[in-house]
Structure 1
Amino acid sequence: MSVKILFYTVAVLLLHTQVYAQKAKDIREYKERAEAVRQEVWNWDIPAFKKVPALPADDKSSAIVIAKHVDLKASSIKKIKFIGIGFKVKKDLFYSNTVREMVKLNDKVALEEYSQFSFKKFRSLNSYYHSGLATTIVGVRIIKPDGSMKEVKVDEEIVNEEENKEQKSKLAIPDLQVGDVIDYFVRVEELKDLNSDIDAQIFVLGDDKPIMQYSVHCEISDKYFVRYRSANGAPDFKVKKDDDGSVFDMLVKNIPSLPVSLWMSPYRQIPLIRMDILYGSYPAAGQVAGEVRHNPKQAEIKEAILRSLDGEKNAFAMGGGALTSQVKSLLREYKRTNNSDLPNDSLPYYVYYAFRYIAFYRVSADDKIVVGRQRNYVTPNNKKFLFYLEEIMNAMDIPAEFVLVTSRYGPGQDELLNTGDYEYMLKTKGSQPVFMSADGVFTHCTYVSSEYEGQTAPAIELMKSKKRKNDITAFTEEKIGYSTADQNTKIEHIEISLDDAMQQLLVNRHTTLKGSLRADEQKRLLLFEDYYEAERTALAVKSTFMEDFADSRRNRSLAEEYTNAFAKARKDQKDDFMEEINEQFDIKPKELMLYHIDKMGLRHDDPDFVYTTKFTLEGLVKKAGNNYILDAGKLIGGQLRVKPEQRDRKVDIYQPFARSFEYNIELVIPKGYKLEGADKLDKLIDNACGSFTVKTTLEADKLKVHIRKVYKNAFEPVAKWNDLLQVIDAAIDFESQKLLLKKA
């Protein structure tokens, strides 16, 4: 062995040993700190955690939160009395956030929820220690009905898993049973540099379980400016000063359960407090370190958003010039190819789709090769997209204004806390205004996201000249309308026959998706190769990027790589269709013989997403003597089920959007059999909130069934809840309907 190789080998071994020793040291320090934190939290002087109270025997809740406490510290490092992992590093501020809950489990649903905790990977859950990053510490105890207590060994029990490509950490809770109380906490600790803001905080006083006691304690250094808002009837904090800053306390008891997972807008319906903790003083923004500001005025938020708009517009102006040149070049080529000019009222549409092509569809040699389903799920930076688009339209004399929208699932315009509460849309000015945004890579020009429907939003056309100052008095109000159930619809034509063995259904299905029901399946099923080619052709772009690569000596090999990637994506598309079928029918197809995209729905003037599938299903036909029973109600897929505790509703209803589902089924009756029970399928429920109708027509060898379910409005007052329940219950009743194929 040469001296050089020997030296290299020894160096690697030494490095490995040093890294291993450092990792072992980090793990040891983490465990020591975790144990100290658990002792601290378990010994909190909060009476609600010290003894399990007597609970109402007639309480029907799946689980009851006996106590919940949030402890937040954003303190000077001088106030910290310990030296734990990472605390030897020179830092100025210490941040920790601890959430502890004690929960009584009343049934198997709650047991399933808590017997295996699943935490989102928030920063570094179970990653022991990373310098400069947060450390997460977890503690779990089980309290049995006889009062005995057992602590779960968390460090050994947590395992990391991937779920839908997102890494999560799961903690198995052994020996947990119905009737037990689980007492657990999660703490995040972090050392902060100066100029570091604290994560935005939200204290939500409501859950799908009743909460007997909810308390909050915050200690925040005077080096921070605190801005917070109480919404939906939430109480205010009790605020007092100490030597380091401000102390916030709150205690609320007997919070009733809410149907948070069923058509609610928590920001608008649940009492909550939102808090920003911002470092330092910035007089121009009205930010003063040490100040506590409760319920900031809306004029303050508008002034801040105006500063933000001005700053962002200036920041994007330079890049907008280059993009404008590219759009103009595409437009010139389009005119030459089509030998005609665009009508003036068509120019905004062309500009939008040209820029969408540049932003999301065009490929350069430096791009990572991503042509499968993953590409469809790219989340655009909507604000960046719109600022560039506004620069392009300004340069092409298309006047437009920014519309500052808030989500129906976010705070209302009168309960904003910061500029991040706004999202942007553009709206062209003129007799036929056009809304523009970038929700995804398939967003149409004119599309308005359903979460902005029904909202009143401030709008402003930013001054083009730097010498003219934009002012909040220039804001106007824009009322955004609601889409209708007919605009958001799923229509299926389904032809069904049985195989000779009377075991499988042969299904020939033609699906049309409109409006807000379209995007999810576009993302799942479309291929980049296809929609790239469609948009390239529509914009009259002469050559494909594959042709450009093939003509380039430097990039010629890329053409072959993309060809192989396209082939793999097309092969994987079959699995995507199988997944879509399984999701609708809750049965994996036995065989998928045909899957085809008929219309991609890429533009507002041809908006529908349409596809055809042909497949077989097992499990919907059961033999009964010489006869067969068909689960007819399951041919339209599973239906929404309202939990028993959700039926007595006391809050208004925020549905995603008005929508309808229409199914036209033709069932071929096998020779030698007659059909019974078709008359029992007919149904008619129609009220102010929705409808569910079933009409059947029986011919000699064919049954035709037309089913239509409609949710007429995106928002309903709670007084209409029983009307909605009628529609939901009718659909569930249909799902259980069966037909008898009787031997003739």
Structure 2
Amino acid sequence: MKKLLLIVLFCAFNILGFSQFDTEKIIRITSNDSLMFEDDSIFQVSEIPDKWKNESAVIIAIESYTERKIRKTYPYYFYGYRERVKLLDNAAILDYSELELVNVSGFLLKVIKPDGSVKKYNYSELKPSIAPSEGEYPLTKLAIPNLEPNDIIDFCYYQEFPYEGNRKNYFFLVHEYPIMHQKLVFTMGALFYPSFNSYNGAPKMMLEEDSKKRKVYVLFDKERDKHTDLYFDNIYSNTPMVKFNSTYYDDYRLPSSKLSQQDAYDYFNFRFNRKYDELSGINILNSAQRYFFNKYKTDFNPYTLLDECYYFFRYKFFFEDYNKSGKYTYIWQLSDGKVAYDFDFLELMRKIGTTQNSKNKNNLLSINSIVAIQRLYGGFDDALFYKELLYGLEFKYKDSIKYYFPFSRHSTADCIPYIIEGSDAYRIKYAEDKSAPEIEQIKLPISKYNDNQINSELFLEINSDNTLLIKRNVKVKGHFKEDYENLIIEPELDKIEGETYGMYKEPYAHTKNELNEKKRKIKASIDEFKKKRIDFMKFLIEEDFQMVSYDTLEILKDGRFKNPDALEFRDVFAIKDIIKTVGSNILFEVGKLIGPQIQLKESEYQRTYDVFFDYPNSYNYTFVLNIPNGYTPEGLDQLNLNVDNETSSFISKGKIEDNKLVVEVSCILKNNYESKEKWPQIVKTIEAAFDFSQKTVLLKKIQ
């Protein structure tokens, strides 16, 4: 047994030893028209295992190299990547015929034909095109020409980025194609401190030291079957992966392999008690206290004060910059839509609570801090990065509890973000004598399906050209409102809310021409928002239907001040391919009006992993069709479906009222999580929804 262990260790050392690289070597090799990691034997392989010969493609080898180092006194990180893949059918050829890369500094590709001939391409030969992306860097698209079945493509590239501490870096060991060999290498320069762990059956990291005495962490993996996409899946809970990051010496240090309760508390305490004067926090707090404590001079429900302060801060953080710049820059906002300085917001809310306690002794609030792990990442046992956490406050007044978390532009005060609903959380209770706080682990509440609703009422008219005119009234509640934020015209909100708080200022200029120009820019900004929201609605409709025209849109209520309040709008549009002529009769494909539904494959009836939904929710539709004169509907009984169980439900029914065909549909997901054992119940609801989507009603011509 000892001999075997020594052999394994010796092999591991040699595998690393003959493939040592650093940034300069990779750049030099790629610049000299050679592929990186060329001396790794895994990139000399051309044959694939028999068990995978019926796949679309097989990835022969993947190797990535990440290095943290100092360049001219500034930390940065370097990433090199190489992949060798054999393409076995046209689907894989289509998949690899265009590569999409971000911030590429060097690139090289070779195509090995079945006869052994090799064609090399550099970056410029593949005619790169630049496209916008959702991230910080633009997207580069590279088209690979003349690919055929049984070709092997072998490509590499490297990237260089400024160092950013406290990032979330995940490396998944599965792909849509099987992988024969893969290798991850992380090299740490001086003053960098690694934080890493393996999850869901991924191999452990091995630690070595390179010729420059730097720590090198290596992971080897092989014979990975392809990853199969599942409906309602959480890849963080069931996919082999590695979390790896590092912190620079002057950053707040990440835990080495697991985020403990003490780590979570220390980081929260460090951030929560930082000074926020440079962010105008003092001025914002004073403004809020002057406005609201003058407004509420007598005893009142303290939640009323907290809610109003929440919306006041939301206005200040997002709109105060507008009058200075003439456009919404959202300099306080992160890419996920939350306030960049979320701890400043929490500190402001806490101070409002403590001030209220000092002024109203009869209405004392209990104030606790909340540290929650986002549900996507599992429980605290799976946490490693601080950015996997979300922070908030818990206020208790009499027998009721209310939570406040950092807001987005249109969030409401009484809404727990769905990414932490039902999540593990630490409740931090601070002692009055400032001794060590009491920390207990809790589960956060989960919203109900009737809290998150989309209620749609559609009045339908058949046009002479067989298009369908739809007049729609929609009410959107709860978490669904986030999906419709593009309907809100923010320059108008700036004026409305600013006037409410006595802070809005009309455009001012020294000359009439300057004033007119400012007003013109404001109007142009409003017009731009209006166009964007029309484009947004068209996009949503065109996802499900063939749209003929989009005629009107009217926002009735924005639903931005209480979570139970709905965002309400009505619109008018026309679609086609729902109404068809069959001889002298009309075929109404009513089922299509609920949009495309999931059609399960045979293999998807069995479930290996648990089921994750964003949040409990319900969709409710009412379709009202004016029956054309001289026609009568047939086959209404087939519209009556009823599936209802502890996980979900789908209920529909059709009827005739006042010469109108009325069809009512309700689809409900009752929880945000179900065990895999309950998958058969969910399947019944999925099947019912798909069944309804295929339903038609025949409008028969009366003879």
TM-score of the superposed pair, with normalisation by structure 2 = 0.83
1:696 to 654, 679, 682: 654
Instruction: Give the 3-state SS of the residue equivalent to 2:684 in structure 1.
Output: helix
Tell me the distance in 1 between the aligned counterparts of 2:475 and 2:66: 50
- For 1:171, the equivalent position in structure 2 comes to 142
2:690 to 703, 727, 732: 732
- For 2:538, the equivalent position in structure 1 comes to 579
1:70 to 64, 74, 79: 64
- 8 Å CA contact 1:649–1:721 kept in 2: the answer is yes
Tell me the distance in 1 between the aligned counterparts of 2:322 and 2:161: 41
> Per-residue CA shift, 1:279-313, capped at 9, x if unaligned?
3489xx789xxxxx86346155235414523553x
**Residues 354 and 94 (structure 1), Cα distance of their counterparts in 2 relative to 1, 3 Å cut:** closer
**Residues 109 and 711 (structure 1), Cα distance of their counterparts in 2 relative to 1, 3 Å cut:** farther
- For 2:423, the equivalent position in structure 1 comes to 455
Matching of residue 531 in structure 1 with residue 493 in structure 2: yes
- 8 Å CA contact 1:208–1:258 kept in 2: the answer is yes
**Residues 365 and 228 (structure 1), Cα distance of their counterparts in 2 relative to 1, 3 Å cut:** same
**Residues 32 and 602 (structure 1), Cα distance of their counterparts in 2 relative to 1, 3 Å cut:** closer
Matching of residue 324 in structure 1 with residue 285 in structure 2: yes
Matching of residue 507 in structure 1 with residue 478 in structure 2: no
- For 1:615, the equivalent position in structure 2 comes to 573
- 8 Å CA contact 1:317–1:388 kept in 2: the answer is no
Matching of residue 239 in structure 1 with residue 233 in structure 2: no
- 8 Å CA contact 2:414–2:563 kept in 1: the answer is no
Matching of residue 561 in structure 1 with residue 520 in structure 2: yes
Give matches, 1:152-301, under 5 Å.
152-156=121-125, 157-162=127-132, 167-177=138-148, 179-189=150-160, 201-243=169-211, 244-260=213-229, 262-280=231-249, 295-296=257-258, 298-299=260-261, 301=263
- For 1:426, the equivalent position in structure 2 comes to 393
- 8 Å CA contact 1:144–1:180 kept in 2: the answer is yes
- For 1:83, the equivalent position in structure 2 comes to none
The alpha carbon displacement at 1:557 in A equals: 4.5
Query: Please, what is the CA RMSD of the aligned residues?
Result: 3.8
Instruction: Give the 3-state SS of the residue equivalent to 1:475 in structure 2.
Output: strand
- For 2:21, the equivalent position in structure 1 comes to none
Residue 169 of structure 1 aligns to which amino acid in structure 2?
T
Give matches, 1:101-180, under 5 Å.
101-106=83-88, 108-119=90-101, 121=102, 124-125=103-104, 136-156=105-125, 157-162=127-132, 167-177=138-148, 179-180=150-151
- 8 Å CA contact 2:26–2:80 kept in 1: the answer is no
The alpha carbon displacement at 1:509 in A equals: 0.7
2:81 to 77, 95, 99: 99
Tell me the distance in 2 between the aligned counterparts of 1:686 and 1:246: 57
Matching of residue 671 in structure 1 with residue 664 in structure 2: no
> Per-residue CA shift, 1:20-43, capped at 9, x if unaligned?
xxxxxxxxx999957447514262
Tell me the distance in 1 between the aligned counterparts of 2:26 and 2:260: 47
Instruction: Give the 3-state SS of the residue equivalent to 1:103 in structure 2.
Output: strand
Instruction: Give the 3-state SS of the residue equivalent to 1:264 in structure 2.
Output: coil
- 8 Å CA contact 1:351–1:393 kept in 2: the answer is no
The alpha carbon displacement at 1:601 in A equals: 0.4
**Residues 701 and 450 (structure 1), Cα distance of their counterparts in 2 relative to 1, 3 Å cut:** same
**Residues 114 and 731 (structure 1), Cα distance of their counterparts in 2 relative to 1, 3 Å cut:** farther
> Per-residue CA shift, 1:228-266, capped at 9, x if unaligned?
222233221222334412232322222233345743333
Tell me the distance in 1 between the aligned counterparts of 2:26 and 2:377: 39
- For 2:360, the equivalent position in structure 1 comes to none
- 8 Å CA contact 2:550–2:573 kept in 1: the answer is yes
- 8 Å CA contact 1:498–1:505 kept in 2: the answer is yes
Tell me the distance in 1 between the aligned counterparts of 2:532 and 2:186: 51
Tell me the distance in 2 between the aligned counterparts of 1:464 and 1:556: 54
Percent of residue pairs bearing the same amino acid type: 22
Matching of residue 388 in structure 1 with residue 348 in structure 2: yes
- For 1:519, the equivalent position in structure 2 comes to 482
Residue 622 of structure 1 aligns to which amino acid in structure 2?
K
Most deviating of 727-736 and 146-155 = 146-155
The alpha carbon displacement at 1:705 in A equals: 0.9
Instruction: Give the 3-state SS of the residue equivalent to 1:56 in structure 2.
Output: helix
- For 1:486, the equivalent position in structure 2 comes to 450
Q: Which runs of 5+ in 2 are unaligned?
A: 1-23, 358-364
Instruction: Give the 3-state SS of the residue equivalent to 2:383 in structure 1.
Output: coil
Matching of residue 710 in structure 1 with residue 668 in structure 2: yes
Most deviating of 553-562 and 217-226 = 553-562
Tell me the distance in 1 between the aligned counterparts of 2:25 and 2:479: 47
> Per-residue CA shift, 1:128-179, capped at 9, x if unaligned?
xxxxxxxx22333334455544334432322101256973211112223455
1:344 to 290, 294, 302: 302
Tell me the distance in 1 between the aligned counterparts of 2:117 and 2:600: 36
Tell me the distance in 2 between the aligned counterparts of 1:676 and 1:702: 13
Instruction: Give the 3-state SS of the residue equivalent to 2:620 in structure 1.
Output: strand
The alpha carbon displacement at 1:696 in A equals: 1.0
**Residues 149 and 662 (structure 1), Cα distance of their counterparts in 2 relative to 1, 3 Å cut:** farther
**Residues 245 and 581 (structure 1), Cα distance of their counterparts in 2 relative to 1, 3 Å cut:** closer
The alpha carbon displacement at 1:695 in A equals: 0.9
The alpha carbon displacement at 1:223 in A equals: 4.1
Tell me the distance in 1 between the aligned counterparts of 2:162 and 2:509: 53
Instruction: Give the 3-state SS of the residue equivalent to 2:201 in structure 1.
Output: coil
How many aligned residue pairs are there?
Answer: 665
Tell me the distance in 1 between the aligned counterparts of 2:121 and 2:699: 56
2:609 to 637, 644, 651: 651
- 8 Å CA contact 1:658–1:714 kept in 2: the answer is yes
Residue 611 of structure 1 aligns to which amino acid in structure 2?
F
Tell me the distance in 2 between the aligned counterparts of 1:703 and 1:558: 54
- 8 Å CA contact 1:324–1:395 kept in 2: the answer is no
**Residues 554 and 177 (structure 1), Cα distance of their counterparts in 2 relative to 1, 3 Å cut:** same
- For 2:368, the equivalent position in structure 1 comes to 401
Residue 617 of structure 1 aligns to which amino acid in structure 2?
I
The alpha carbon displacement at 1:530 in A equals: 4.2
Instruction: Give the 3-state SS of the residue equivalent to 2:381 in structure 1.
Output: coil
Tell me the distance in 2 between the aligned counterparts of 1:52 and 1:654: 39
- For 2:267, the equivalent position in structure 1 comes to 305
Tell me the distance in 1 between the aligned counterparts of 2:277 and 2:441: 25
Residue 168 of structure 1 aligns to which amino acid in structure 2?
L
Tell me the distance in 1 between the aligned counterparts of 2:547 and 2:201: 47
Residue 250 of structure 1 aligns to which amino acid in structure 2?
L
Tell me the distance in 2 between the aligned counterparts of 1:326 and 1:569: 32
Tell me the distance in 1 between the aligned counterparts of 2:426 and 2:189: 35
**Residues 737 and 237 (structure 1), Cα distance of their counterparts in 2 relative to 1, 3 Å cut:** same
Tell me the distance in 2 between the aligned counterparts of 1:286 and 1:380: 23
TM-score of the superposed pair, with normalisation by structure 1 = 0.79
- For 1:13, the equivalent position in structure 2 comes to none
